[in-house]
Structure 1
Amino acid sequence: MLARIAAELGPWSWWVAGMILLAAELVAPGVFLVWIGLGALATGILSLLFWTLPAWSWQVQCLVFATFSLAFTLIGRKLMASRGASSDEPLLNQRTASLVGRTATLQEPIREGRGRIRLDDTWWPVTGPDLPAGTRIKVSASHGRDLTVEPF
């Protein structure tokens, strides 16, 4: 059945396949079928040019389609990676990193390198030099949930 449709459509079968793949991208988003669809459209362009040549068999067409699809996928992947998602809140999902540079008062003393501070409405475990409660400190780094502090 597919062979009959391809034979009736001739070189336009690649254009139809490309459009179907591009339409499928709308149903299943992920920006992957776009590159394969573009590969089919590029193969369709070559089919319009070479359809009458005996060397332009279905095997050659499939190899050209696979090559174009791979090339467009690699180019598309590189383009998508180079876009770089810049954000107005780069530390939005990195709460401890967003606390670096803040100052606070030690609520509990730092003993043997461990203590706690209260920033906003949260208690945070801290590491740093031994300091008494009430000392003004500055958050200098974050490691997971722990904050590294130094006297301010």
Structure 2
Amino acid sequence: MPEVLIDYGWWILGLVLLALEVAAPGVYLLFFGIAALIVGMNVFVLGTGWFGWQQQIIAFIVLSVAAALLGRRWYGNKSVAGDGERLNRRTARLVGRQAVLTEAIVDGRGRIAIEDSWWSVTGQDMPAGAHVRITGADGSVLVVEPAP
């Protein structure tokens, strides 16, 4: 039994780490799981006579670091395109949209209704019912201008 564990221990460890990666958030255990599977493959090909446990541990450490560096390089260059960068900034995703003033802008302040929400707006004075375009946001206050 111990010989079987030595022969297949790295594969078992690699598969357990990959299974935990699926259950755990983030990308941490993936690189260690890949390194363990590579060491397990080398133990299978070379045998424990040529590839002793000391070399296996060193190979696991080196491969884990190499996999983590390659993963960082691969995932570090990926940027989310589109609306993902504005996902948690509700005011940023409203920029560019047009709306109708529900309350006139008086002394630079008014209100509009968009998507079942009321928003305070700033801009030049305009009557209620005027069409405006959202050009920016200052915190939770939208900046508007007359729509063309």
TM-score, L = length of structure 2: 0.69
Helix, strand or coil at the partner of 1:107:
strand
User: Where is the helix percentage greater, Structure 1 or Structure 2?
Assistant: 2
Q: Say whether 1:34 aligns with 2:30.
A: yes
Residue of structure 2 in register with 1:71 after alignment: 66
Amino acid at match of 2:48: W
Q: Give, in whole Å, the separation in 2 of the partners of 1:120 and 1:52.
A: 69
Moved runs in structure 1, 4+ residues, more than 6 A? none
Q: Which moved more, 1:75-84 or 1:109-118?
A: 75-84
Amino acid at match of 2:32: I
Residue of structure 2 in register with 1:14 after alignment: 10
TM-score, L = length of structure 1: 0.68
Q: CA deviation at 1:137?
A: 1.8
Counterpart mapping for 1:65-104 below 5 A: 65-80=60-75, 94-104=89-99
Q: CA deviation at 1:40?
A: 0.7
Percent identity over paired residues:
40
Counterpart mapping for 1:101-120 below 5 A: 101-120=96-115
Q: Say whether 1:141 aligns with 2:139.
A: no
Alignment RMSD: 3.3
Q: Which runs of 5+ in 1 are unaligned?
A: none
Q: Say whether 1:131 aligns with 2:126.
A: yes
Structure 1 pair 135/94, CA: closer, same or farther in 2 (3 Å)?
A: same
Q: CA deviation at 1:145?
A: 1.9
Q: Which runs of 5+ in 2 are unaligned?
A: none
Q: CA deviation at 1:151?
A: 1.7
Helix, strand or coil at the partner of 1:131:
coil
Q: Give, in whole Å, the separation in 2 of the partners of 1:134 and 1:15.
A: 68
